[in-house]
Each structure stands twice: as structure tokens, then as C-alpha cells.
A and B are shown apart, each in its own frame.
Chain A
Amino acid sequence: MSVADAASPLLEIRGLEKHFSLSGDFLEQLQFQGGRLVRRQEYVHAINGVDLEIQRGEALCVVGESGCGKSTVARTVMGLLRPSAGEIRYQGQRIDDLSTQALLPYRRRMQMIFQNPYASLNPRMTIQQTLEEPIRLHHPDWNRQAVEEKVQEVMTSVGIASDWGTRYGHEFSGGQRQRIAIARALAVDPEFIVADEPISALDVSIQAQVLNLLMEARHERQLTYLFITHDLAVVEHFGTRVAVMYLGRVCEIADTATLFSRPRHPYTQALMSAIPRLEDDRPQHIRLEGEVPTPVHLPAGCVFHGRCAHADERCRREIPSLIATDDGSRVACHAVEEGRLD
């Protein structure tokens, strides 16, 4: 690795957009309107211009409610989805337009952990086969012994007993399966891990086990994480930086400590006040009017204006961009920018 590599971000996302067509194929798009045949297309605007940079060694958490596009960001970064616009660079090299063949070396360096461990393990493969598969794909020149040694090594490092190897996925509980999924991701010695809600399908006592495992792996292997979650308590514990997303846009991005001590964006504030706390007093929960609009018909201006108590004419008209504030966070809000809101 050269010096320039160390200074530039490991992953860079620029102007990322992803739209999904709702209208089916060409014939389904044709409709009669006022006696004329017109073609109509509708899109789900899952991501609408996201810029993110992930530095080496970071654990960047992306939080938001369902439908905000956080999982789509993860999948687009991993190349599971093609972006509609924008670019993704890994160590300066653009990867979103590469062919499957050209992407293969990057696939080894970037691995993904999925939300549902009941769906992410192949039910017809033993655990040994599951763990061997990525190694054989990425290191076709390794002999049998080297592969098996590697499998043993990752099994030990995530706390899997070696006799699990001959068993199948269905024999394990959710927490154990998630351990296996983590082992599979670590088997090819990646440097960057995208984890899409890796603990939200698990019970509370198991969540702590898996979260500990992910943190240990991060320190031992100098991993960089893109961690997708909706759970702010997990973010506060795990993340070094946080990006809050709403309707396909980043509305605030800051260091974890900064964000939790002083959330700036009205949406972040509402989100934080909505977490049920263990403390005695009922919290001053900021009530949000209405619900998240559909990403099919995006509101004009700031995507949050319909539910924001501080929205004015400018918010309804002009899309706010991320602007740096005095404490190092970046906030996309006209009210914060104009000083109307602290």
C-alpha cells in the first residue's frame, strides 16, 4: 500500500442514486389517457444522491427507518445492485461499472453479512462446505490442506467448535448461524465488511454475543465496517461515525460521540427521542406528524419538510445539501444552516 492509499478513503461514494422501476416491461407501461396511448413509468427512488466516505479502520453506521434506502446503499456498494447514477470507488478505483470478472478481486476484499441468518446459509451445504466455498473461489490455487487449515482458523476465531463442520445450517440457532455467516465473511481475509442489520433478527442476549464478536474481529483484523442498522443503541456502542438517512438522502453525518451528545437535524433529534429508555421518567418525545412519505413520489425540497416542525418556504422548495457545522458534523438542513435551529 502506498502513502497515497493510506490518506485517501477506503471507500468513496459519490452522488449515488438508485431507482427501481415499478412499471414492468414496455407493454405494461402503455396506458390510455384521454383517448391517447401514453407510456408511463413510475420509479421507487430508493437512493437520491448519497455521498459517503469511509476511512480505513472506521466503523461507519448508517441508520434510518425502513424504506430510507440504507440496505440499498449496502447492496449497491457490494455490487449486488447497479447504481442508476453516481460512482463508487474502492481505494480510488471505480468499481460500480466493473464486469463480474474484474470485480472478483474486490469481492475478496469486501465481504457482506446479511440480516437473516435463516436465509443466508445454503440449507444443502454443511458448515464445512459453506466455509470452504469462498476460499476455493478466491484462492483456486490453494491445496486441500491449506483450505482446511484456513477453515479451522476462522472457526476458532469466531468460536465455532470444529465438530460443527459436518452439520447443516438448520441444526443451529439464529445466533450460531450468524456466527457461521461471520466466519464465512472472514474466511477470505477481507479488509472491508458490509453488515446489513446483522443482529436485528436475534434475541437480546444473543445480540450482545454477536456484537462482541464483530468488535473483536474489527480490532484483531483491522477491519473497516459499513454497518447498517435501525437501532441507535447499537450505533452508539459500535460505530465510530454515523450517517442518518431519510428517504434516500443523508440528513446528518457526524462522529458517534458528537451525534449523540448534540444531534442537529430535526429528524435525528426525533429519532433519538423516540428510543424507549430504561430510565424512570417518560422522555420528552418529539412527536413527528404523519409518516414517512413513499419513495415513489418524493416531496419537493427537503424530503423531511412534511413532518418537520421547523419547515418554511425554502424547505418546501430547495433541497438542502450537507453543510459542515462548528462541531465537525455535517447537516443537511436549511434551519440549521440559517441558524433558526440550534
Chain B
Amino acid sequence: MSLLDVTHLDVRFALRKGDVKALRDVSFSLDRGERLGIVGESGAGKSVAAFTLLNLIAKPGYIAGGSICFDGQELIGRSDRSLRHIRGHRISMIFQDPMMTLNPVLSIGEQMVECLKAHRRISTHEARAISLHKLVQVQIPSPEARLDQYPHELSGGMRQRVIIAIALLLDPDIIIADEPTTALDVTIQAEIMALLLSLCEKHNVGLILITHDLGVVSQVTQRMLVMYAGRVIEDGPTREIINDPQHPYTQGLMNALPQMATPGSHLNQIPGSMPSLDNLPSGCAFHPRCHFVTRPDGQHRQACKEQVPDFVTSGNCRVACHMVADMLGYERIPAEEITQ
């Protein structure tokens, strides 16, 4: 059994016009020390997936089904009080915008001590010592001085280092990082990513990295999920997916990157845009943009238009696509097997 097992997770937002299905049948697992990337465009549901893990989705969102099993305990349905032992302690989170995450009226030291004392019975003096140690680990210049500084006195990259230090404070088993470097410049992004990677490796911390950047995922993670319109559509070892993507959407995403084309040539764009979640197309949510369906001889592909595709295994990956299933000769695997 893995450290974290998510199975058939269904998350909906109850709106006046009806339920919006933000996540449909999302399953994945994470071993101790493993690094998993969740990739998708805006609206794919990758952030909702991350927030759901710690039951951080606010009303009108609710978990409609599925299970999140962390270290042998079921997390869904637990009270906020009992989740508090896990949140920030065993699973911690790094958010996108470092300015929004830190409290502007508390010094860095106060925020770190506050977090430690909420989880452990220790003196302020001890808590400060631990905080300082973590700031040293994230390679902040003059860490001692930083403890008494306020967030606005630090640059974006420095703030994100502080946030990583806070995420590591209680030696968590898993860190969920939601677009941790999107707000930062390329050179700073590379530094922060390298830091996060080395810390996770050193302390054997699992990492769930949510990003839209295929380059970052390719550099950092061992396994990846590709999400589209609330579903996982492809899942497998990062190298295999990057080198040989199976799902037409993943292929399209890779081919659309300028670095995949000769300079100045026409880019292989995916037509259209991601459907809104309250008005999903029938069958495979990607079919209106899929070139296997839109091309002249694809019109007969009724299955794509009518039936939500099941997962099929292809190599070490699993792919939710009728086209891939057809090519593999309908080697469908039952759902129970996938989750193991």
C-alpha cells in the first residue's frame, strides 16, 4: 500500500444552476519519497485535486465520492479538528503566490514559531531554534536576521524560500506544491525548483507538484498525471509520457510547445479551448478538439462522442482514450486493478 491512495475521487460544486463536476473519478497514489506531477491547463481541476487532499475546498464545493487514504487512515469525512494533526504537519502545502501566503503583519519568525507551537508542545526558544535551522536549510542569506523581518522586506524568491522552510517545519511526509514557481522569474524559478528537489530527496519527502509547465514536470517528477476537464486522462512515469505521449491531448500539448517546432514554422495548435465544467461535451470531454474525431474520416468515431473512455494500460502508462484502446485491441483492465 502506498503512503497516499486516492481512489475514484469525485468533487462537485453545488451551484444554483446545478452541480458542477470539478473532479470526476480521479485516482492516484504516492509512495514515500516519490515525486508526482499533476499537469493540466487552467480549469483542468489540478488545484481542486490538491485542495481536496487536505479537505480545503470551501462551500459550495463538496466531496461527492471516493476515498483519500493517507498512511492507512481515511481522510474524507473527518472533522477539521482531527484533520489538523495532518494538515501542515504530515502533509504541508506550498501555494502559488508567496505574497498571499505569508501573513503581512507577523514577522517571519513569529509565523514559523506559531506554526510549530500549534503542533508541538515546545518553548518559544526551541521553536525559534528549529525555525532558524529550517531557514538555513533553504539557503536564505543571513537567516538569523530574516526571523525578525516582515514578508514585505523580502523579494519574491526569498519569500518562496521562507514558505518552503515553513512547509518543512514539522518534517512532513508529503508536500503539495501548487504552481510554486509560476509567479517567479526563470532564473529564480530554477533555483527554487532545484532547492525543493534536493530537500525532498534529502529528507525523503513525497512531493505532489501541480503545474502547467511540462518542462518543470519533466525535470522534477518521477510520475505524472495529465488532467483535462476534471478527469485524469493519462498517467504514468514522467519520462515515458514526455518521450511518447499516448493521449491525443497530451500529444497536442507537447506539439504545441514552440521548442518542439522549427523556429518560424507553423505551430501545431490544438483547436478550440477547454470546455467549461458546467457544460461538458458528451462522451470523451476532449472529442470536439481531438484531431482523430474532427478530421474527415473521424466522423464515424461514435464511441468518442457518446461514451466516456475507460482507462487502458499502454506500457507503464494508463490512458483514457477510445482511440488508444482501439489500437491496443480493447485490452481493458478492470477498475480495481488500476488502483493497486
Contacts and interface: CB of A to CB of B under 8 A. Distances in A.
Contacts of B190: 273-274, 276, 285
Interface residues of B, number: 42
Interface in A266-282: 270-271, 273-280, 282
A205 B261 contact: no
B61 to A, nearest CB: 22
Contact of A206 (B155, B186, B263, B273): B273
Nearest to A211: B267
A211 B258 contact: yes
A233 B158 contact: no
Interface in A304-328: none
A208 B265 CA distance: 11
A271 B187 CA distance: 6
B259 A65 contact: no
Contact of A205 (B218, B219, B269): B269
A128 interface: no
B219 A208 contact: no
Given A230-B185, A291-B157, A205 B215 contact: no
Given A230-B185, A237-B263, A237-B267, A203 B212 contact: yes
Nearest to B258: A237
Interface string B253-265: 1101111010110
Contacts of A236: 258-259, 263
A17 B155 CA distance: 25
Contact of B256 (A208, A256, A288): A208
B236 to A, nearest CB: 16
Interface in A232-253: 232-234, 236-238
Given A276-B213, A291-B155, A212 B269 contact: yes
Interface residues of A, number: 42
B258 A234 contact: yes
Nearest to A213: B269
B131 to A, nearest CB: 22
Given A275-B186, A276-B218, A282-B219, A203 B41 contact: yes
A213 to B, nearest CB: 9
A301 to B, nearest CB: 20
Given A237-B263, A237-B264, A205 B187 contact: no
A222 interface: no
Contacts of B270: 205, 208-209
B194 interface: yes
Contacts of B273: 173, 175-176, 203, 205-206
A65 B189 CA distance: 11
Contacts of B259: 233, 236-237, 277-278
A277 B187 contact: no
Nearest to B270: A205
B258 to A, nearest CB: 4
A209 B270 CA distance: 7
Contacts of B216: 276
Nearest to B249: A205
B196 to A, nearest CB: 13
Contacts of A80: none
Interface string B200-227: 0000000000001111101100000000
Contact of B258 (A66, A238, A274): A238
Nearest to A280: B239
B186 A271 contact: yes
Contacts of B266: 212, 215
A270 B189 CA distance: 12
A173 B41 CA distance: 13
B187 A208 contact: no
Max chain A Cβ within 10 angstroms of own Cβ: one of B191, B193, B256: B256
A207 B267 CA distance: 10
Nearest to B262: A237
A287 B258 contact: no
A7 B138 CA distance: 55
A338 B216 CA distance: 37
B186 A230 contact: yes
A119 interface: no
Interface string A257-273: 10000000000001101
A302 B185 CA distance: 21
B157 A203 contact: no
A277 B257 contact: no
B299 interface: no
18 contacts: A65-B186, A65-B187, A65-B188, A173-B273, A203-B41, A204-B41, A205-B274, A207-B256, A208-B258, A208-B270, A211-B258, A233-B257, A236-B258, A238-B258, A276-B190, A276-B215, A278-B242, A291-B158
Given A65-B185, A205-B274, 19 more contacts: A65-B186, A203-B41, A204-B257, A205-B256, A206-B273, A208-B270, A209-B269, A212-B269, A233-B257, A236-B258, A236-B259, A237-B259, A237-B263, A238-B258, A276-B189, A276-B190, A277-B218, A278-B254, A290-B141
What 3 A-B pairs have minimum CB-CB distances, sorted nearest first? A276-B215, A237-B258, A208-B256
